[in-house]
Structure 1
Amino acid sequence: MTHSEEALDEHLSTPSEAVALSLASTSGPVVVLGAGGKVGPTLCRMLRRALPADRQVFAVSRWSDTEARASLESHGVTCISADLAAPDAWAGLPDAGAVYYLVGHKFGSNTNPHLTWWMNAVVPGFAAARYRGVPTVVYSSGNVYPFTQAHAGGCTEQHPVGPVGTYAQSCLAREQAFTHAAATWSTPVAIYRLNYAVELRYGVLADLAAKIVAGEAIDVTMGAVNVVWQRDSTDWSLRLIEHARSPEPFILNGTGPETASTRHLASRLGAALRRDLTFVGQEAPEALLSNAARCHGLFGYPQTTLDQAVSLVAEWVGAGGRQLGKATKFQTRDGRF
């Protein structure tokens, strides 16, 4: 898995047998909206590998990353260039039998809040209207929850939301756009509250490892965090389509089973990288945490454990493996991204 990016992407896009069974609850083409981000390319490849050849997979994005587009097309995914922020872009998109919605905007929310609100609150309305009645899985974020005591196990899906800051509030607005579609047009909807997916090139573990290698101090004020290996998370999100429902969406937290100590994760990575660590701050009693027991009850525990993920990331970063340069900023506590 760790020898090359090609091998990594092959691994991250390998579906379990259960993915095909879940997708069989739908028919026709599958449209992935916002397919050009961190999760989209391997999600599209996993879809293509799980579906029969006569079901098309359409990946919609602006496709500023031409290499990602070319790679997807070489694996049988049909890529469509579209600026989904534009209202007139939607009429020309293909019809679908299932939709995965990955459009989102996070970084720069503090300096350009209007763009964040447009992308996360207005654009979902375009999607919900264009694909009314079509089973839809909506990627959301655990940021919609308030901070809770680190020892309490994290927020379940029944916990009252309490988004902090522009980004988190706009994520809740995205959910509400699709909730409206479920209530008004009987669109079957499932909302996937993910935090945080990790792989070798980005995520909480890669962020920590990169700081350690650079000799930077590790801030432990956000003293605990949830993570899940991206292949497991993607697999779960694809299987979630069979649970989409109306008039109320099915909501699912997606993350690993551990409430992981930031200090402990950094210490494990530092030991594997053979680097000394410097910590700053003191663990706050509360953190942004989710409880994914419902997810694990439906789909099982992650196939890649947290210990395995830590070892793999340390090996990759220690060998100078490429990073995507997309920090999670998981240590942010004021909602200003």
Structure 2
Amino acid sequence: MNDYPEYFSNEEELEEALSRPSKELVKMIQRLDGDIIFLGVAGKMGVSMARMAKRAIKEAKINKRVIGVSRFSSQEHRTFLEESGIETIKGDMLDMEFIKNLPNVKNVFYLAGNKFGTEGNEPFTWAMNSYLPGLIMEKFKNSRIVAFSTGCVYPLVKINSGGSKESDKPDPIGEYAQSCLGRERLFEYGSVKNNTPVTIIRLNYAVEMRYGVLVDIASKVHKNESIDVTMGYANIIWQGDANDMILRSIMLSSSPAFHINVSGSEQISVAYVARTIGKLLDKKVKLKGAETDTALLVNVSKCEHLLGTTHVKPNKIVAWTANWIENNMPLLGKATHFEVRDGKY
């Protein structure tokens, strides 16, 4: 896992790194019974996660189907998955008939959801984040399920608090975060009702070279734009590490549902990262606002105990990101809005 290149020179190298399975994942896949389906596979993490699962199956020298479900607004994603040996199914998951006709698969990874553009489109956000999980829990009640959630279900906490723990009471800010808590509640309800094993992943800021908090900061530095430091700190995790941990978390599924925070243990300082990238890019850094004493932070001690520590540390990801931006490499063009404190996305 640690023999990554000094820098990524193209997307092919990046995709290889993001989908590289650990030895622990390969061993888990050997023990896991049943095939695997990814719902909402064409999002920011689904493609690399599905490919990682397929690579782990191949390395384990076993046979399992890996299926990816999405609207596939980008044919490129569908082709890439199919070339990687992953079956694809195209359709609208808000269509009950489409859901009913999906194959019954033992292991389900639920990645669907809506965040950006929530403001002014609240009904669709609630449908995707809270209504759809109810449909999924009925369809796959005899499966085991890993469901994506977010650290946004927690309130802002003091910088020196160590971050929100899974046992802390959720207190979401804004409709997006509220709808995500709704998503959790539907998975929790179905888990208890049908005795379905579920793991709920409260993820904070998975990053790679084309998307994430570091890309947002580096892009602003590169363009000589000001960086808001009001939300002064964040947890981040290399997406390859997040993929690996989340895939292995299916073995933690239980009824009632099991909750786990997934992110890096180090709190990054937005101002420090900006200045570091400024030095790497030889750019003057413009900061605006004043750091507050609270931020959206999670405690990952449970995750580290059960799934181990991350392989790639923030300083390495910062260097990779600066190099990627400096060389004008492709980006996804989606800001994280990490600086938002009122929950309006």
- Corresponding position of 1:27: 33
RMSD between aligned alpha carbons?
1.0
2:68 maps to 1:59: yes
Contact 2:106–2:142 (8 Å) recurs in 1: no
**1:90-126 per-position Cα deviation (integer Å, ceiling 9, x unaligned):** 1111110100000010011111100100000001111
Contact 1:33–1:103 (8 Å) recurs in 2: yes
1:120-199 pair list within 5 angstroms: 120-199=129-208
The DSSP-based 3-state class of the residue aligned with 2:68 is strand
- Corresponding position of 1:304: 312
The DSSP-based 3-state class of the residue aligned with 1:267 is helix
**Aligned AA (1:267):** R
Contact 1:153–1:259 (8 Å) recurs in 2: no
- Corresponding position of 1:277: 285
- Corresponding position of 2:303: 295
In structure 2, distance between residues paired with 1:82 and 1:167: 24
Per-residue deviation, 1:272: 1.0
**Aligned AA (1:5):** E
Contact 1:226–1:260 (8 Å) recurs in 2: yes
Q: Count how many residue pairs are aligned between Structure 1 and Structure 2.
A: 336
Contact 1:155–1:289 (8 Å) recurs in 2: yes
TM-score (norm 2): 0.96
**1:135-154 per-position Cα deviation (integer Å, ceiling 9, x unaligned):** 11011100000000011111
Per-residue deviation, 1:22: 2.4
TM-score (norm 1): 0.98
**Aligned AA (1:283):** E
Equivalent of 2:99, from 90, 94, 97? 90
In structure 1, distance between residues paired with 2:132 and 2:150: 16
**1:51-71 per-position Cα deviation (integer Å, ceiling 9, x unaligned):** 255210000001111111111
- Corresponding position of 1:49: 55
In structure 2, distance between residues paired with 1:86 and 1:282: 46
Equivalent of 1:69, from 65, 78, 103? 78
2:206 maps to 1:200: no
Per-residue deviation, 1:329: 0.4
Contact 1:23–1:238 (8 Å) recurs in 2: no
Equivalent of 1:17, from 5, 17, 23? 23
The DSSP-based 3-state class of the residue aligned with 1:32 is strand
Per-residue deviation, 1:28: 2.0
Provide the identity percentage. Answer: 39
The DSSP-based 3-state class of the residue aligned with 1:90 is helix
Per-residue deviation, 1:25: 4.2
Gaps of 5+ in 1: none
**Aligned AA (1:22):** M
- Corresponding position of 2:13: 7
In structure 2, distance between residues paired with 1:318 and 1:76: 34
